[in-house]
Amino acid sequence: MTWIIAIVMGGIIGWLASIVMKTDAQQGIFLNIVVGCIGSILGRFLLQGVLGGGHLRGNAFDPMTLLTAFIGAVILLGIVNLVRRGRVR
């Protein structure tokens, strides 16, 4: 059950990050889930010492986990845009 919650929360976080980065029209549901889950891992790796937060699998409704995952997803989309277009956007 925790995997399903992590996938749903990853999809929502990826969707919100794609709206902020203005890549929503280019992504579908699957890519939103991937961006949200990988962004969660990236955010936890980069920001855990500063913001805290846990895993989407274990603490999916913790505000710091959601914030860390969202910031990680925005950073991930920024890196992808930088590589693709030469600018963050």
DSSP 65-78: HHHHHHHHHHHHHH
What's the angle, vertex CA 54, arms to CA 28 and CA 49, rounded to 5? 110
Q: If you average pLDDT over residues 63-68, what whole number do you get?
A: 84
CA distance 66 to 37: 11
pTM metric for this prediction: 0.85
7-56 pLDDT per residue, tens = 898 899 999 999 998 887 777 889 899 999 899 889 888 887 776 666 66
